[in-house]
């Protein structure tokens, strides 16, 4: 059955996510939000275009593509991939516009209230595909598989906490204490859903791209245990908030678990890196190291972030979302899109005519430049937030926008096989985004 291990809509998920990334960078450049200005409607809209539109969507697209690799079986319920993309995109746009209610645009209230329903439906469809694919006795033995399932649990908590806050902000019952719910919402999203999903997928990808032995072992079991504890504490804390009880104690415990979790994860990634057989890693792996460094940086900032709040908390969240999660995703995206494009175009030609090496589809120099620019922009953004400098933050947003445009340009070039010599480039070219597989 041709193509049963490729999801047809992977590139559509990536394309939609990249549009949101460009939109968020553009809004940052326009000064819609910045140091100390994240809790108003404009600031929340920007944050959600970035976190939900870009990071959640790219992660969901990546999971739909990669859980079959994790579980060594075909994707379950593949017919849900497109509807999930459509409703979660619509929900994201509705939520971003809905936040403008807080800026006095009352007419947008219905959109604000409808957004959680659409987003929840999209999340549920992705969770059904991923959960059904991974839930088998063989797969569940793997700590990385259980970690992705844990990420889905955190996703449910993320959605529930977000939906409750939307109700509260629109003045409806049941109202929650926002000052207690907000840190939990962020921790469920960043530390629970996005980071745990990234952990689970990264083991397989890193071992593959570094040609390193892929064995779980005790360290990975320990990462899973710490992650399970974190998600359990976060969900319990949110239930306490729902019950109207104080949850600072539980939130502090969760924040104490995060450094343990991150250090265990980094220790295992360091082990994979040292045991690699590929002497000179490619650009995606070299720049994944920058992402891992930002993970450590975010962890270091999280302590003053919780104790002092304000600029420290803003910088910690920025380092996690823009530094750790986005740098990792952008670096791997170049490689993954190159790989999928190569499979799509050249797999049918192997053994019948010469095929180019997969590396030739990518301009490593251009990718390096963009990823370096992205990392510089992230660092500048963290410093600008710490210094509470709106001008510095605009400069950082300019660097990030340039880098994002450069990556998108490179991805389009990869899809068009632009880096191949004309005689190596077959006609017709694959469509840019839709659908991934053509009948042949």
Partner 1 sequence: MTQPLEFDVRPIMQSGDDPFGAIMAAVDALSPGQALRLLAPFRPMPLFTVMANRGFGFSDRQRADGVWEVLFTPVADAPDAAGMAPGSTPTAGFWPDAVCELDLTGLMPPEPMVRILEEITRLAPGEVLFALLDREPMFLFPELAHRGHEWAGNFASSGQAYRLLVRAGAQDD
Q: Which residues sit at the interface with partner 1, rule CB under 8 A?
A: 1-6, 68-69, 72-74, 137-138, 208-209, 211, 213-215, 277-278, 339, 342-343, 347-348, 350-352, 355, 358
Can you tell me whether residue 319 is helix, strand or coil? Answer: helix
| Residue 129: count of CB within 10 angstroms of its CB | 23
Interatomic CA distance for residues 417 and 420, integer angstroms:
6
Interatomic CA distance for residues 193 and 261, integer angstroms:
14
Interatomic CA distance for residues 208 and 199, integer angstroms:
14
CB of 352 to partner 1, least distance (A): 7
Nearest C-alpha neighbor of 116 from the set 100, 97, 92: 92
**Cα angle 266-271-273, degrees, rounded to a multiple of 5:** 90
Closer CB to partner 1, 141 or 245, in the complex: 141
CB of 138 to partner 1, least distance (A): 6
Token look-up 């096989």 returns 417
Closer CB to partner 1, 5 or 289, in the complex: 5
- Region for 389 from its dihedrals, namely left if φ exceeds 0, alpha if ψ lies in -120 to 50, beta otherwise: beta
Closer CB to partner 1, 3 or 31, in the complex: 3
Q: Determine the longest span between alpha carbons in the chain, in angstroms.
A: 68
CB of 215 to partner 1, least distance (A): 7
Tokens, residue 295? 């993970």
Closer CB to partner 1, 179 or 353, in the complex: 353
Interatomic CA distance for residues 159 and 129, integer angstroms:
17
CB of 330 to partner 1, least distance (A): 20
Closer CB to partner 1, 54 or 339, in the complex: 339
Closer CB to partner 1, 1 or 422, in the complex: 1
- Asked if residues 29 and 398 have their Cβ atoms less than 8 Å apart, the reply is yes
Q: What is the DSSP string of 143-175?
A: HHHHHHHHHHHHHHHHHHHHHHHHHHHTT-SSP
Nearest C-alpha neighbor of 336 from the set 362, 312, 316: 362
Nearest C-alpha neighbor of 384 from the set 372, 398, 399, 395: 395
Tokens, residue 6? 């490729």
Nearest C-alpha neighbor of 146 from the set 244, 78, 207, 223: 223
CB of 217 to partner 1, least distance (A): 11
Closer CB to partner 1, 99 or 287, in the complex: 287
CB of 361 to partner 1, least distance (A): 11
Closer CB to partner 1, 174 or 351, in the complex: 351
CB of 333 to partner 1, least distance (A): 17
Q: What is the 3-state secondary structure (H, E, C) of 250-268?
A: HHHHHHHHHHHHHHHHHHH
CB of 60 to partner 1, least distance (A): 20
Task: Please state, in angstroms and as integers, the Cα–Cα distance from residue 73 to each residue in 9, 116, 395, following that order.
Answer: 18, 32, 46
Closer CB to partner 1, 94 or 361, in the complex: 361
CB of 436 to partner 1, least distance (A): 12
């Amino acid at each position: 059955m041709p193509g049963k291990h490729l999801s047809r809509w992977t590139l559509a998920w990536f394309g939609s996510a990249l549009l949101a990334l460009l939109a968020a960078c553009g809004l940052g450049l326009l000064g819609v939000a910045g140091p100390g200005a994240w809790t108003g409607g404009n600031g929340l809209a920007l944050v959600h275009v970035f976190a939900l539109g870009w990071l959640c969507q790219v992660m969901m697209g990546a999971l739909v593509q990669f859980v079959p690799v994790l579980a060594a079986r075909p994707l379950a319920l593949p017919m849900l991939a497109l509807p999930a993309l459509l409703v979660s995109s619509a929900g994201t746009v509705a939520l971003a516009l809905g936040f403008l209610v807080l800026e006095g645009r009352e007419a947008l209230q219905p959109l604000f209230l409808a957004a959680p329903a659409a987003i929840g439906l999209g999340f549920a469809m992705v969770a059904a595909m991923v959960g059904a694919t991974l839930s088998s006795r063989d797969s569940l033995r793997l700590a990385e598989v259980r970690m992705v399932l844990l990420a889905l649990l955190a996703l449910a908590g993320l959605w529930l906490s977000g939906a409750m806050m939307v109700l509260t902000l629109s003045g409806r019952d049941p109202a929650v204490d926002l000052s207690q719910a907000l840190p939990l919402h962020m921790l469920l999203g960043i530390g629970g859903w996005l980071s745990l999903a990234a952990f689970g997928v990264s083991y397989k990808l890193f071992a593959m791209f570094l040609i390193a032995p892929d064995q779980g072992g005790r360290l990975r079991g320990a990462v899973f245990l710490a992650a399970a504890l974190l998600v359990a504490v976060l969900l319990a804390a949110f239930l306490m908030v729902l019950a109207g009880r104080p949850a600072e104690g539980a939130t502090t415990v969760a924040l104490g678990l995060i450094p343990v979790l991150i250090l265990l994860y980094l220790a295992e990634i360091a082990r994979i890196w040292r045991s690699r057989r590929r002497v000179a890693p490619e650009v995606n792996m070299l720049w994944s190291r920058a992402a891992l460094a930002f993970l450590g940086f975010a962890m270091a900032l999280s302590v003053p972030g919780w104790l002092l709040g304000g600029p420290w908390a803003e910088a910690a969240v920025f380092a996690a979302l823009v530094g750790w999660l986005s740098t990792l995703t952008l670096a791997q995206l170049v490689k993954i899109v190159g790989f999928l494009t190569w499979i799509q175009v050249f797999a049918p030609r192997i053994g019948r005519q010469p095929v180019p090496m997969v590396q030739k589809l990518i301009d490593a120099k251009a990718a390096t430049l963009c990823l370096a620019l992205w990392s510089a922009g992230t660092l500048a953004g963290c410093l600008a937030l710490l210094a509470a400098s709106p001008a510095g933050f605009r400069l950082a947003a300019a660097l990030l926008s340039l880098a994002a445009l450069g990556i998108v340009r490179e991805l389009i070039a990869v899809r068009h096989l632009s880096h191949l010599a004309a005689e190596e480039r077959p006609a017709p070219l694959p469509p840019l985004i839709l659908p991934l597989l053509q009948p042949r």
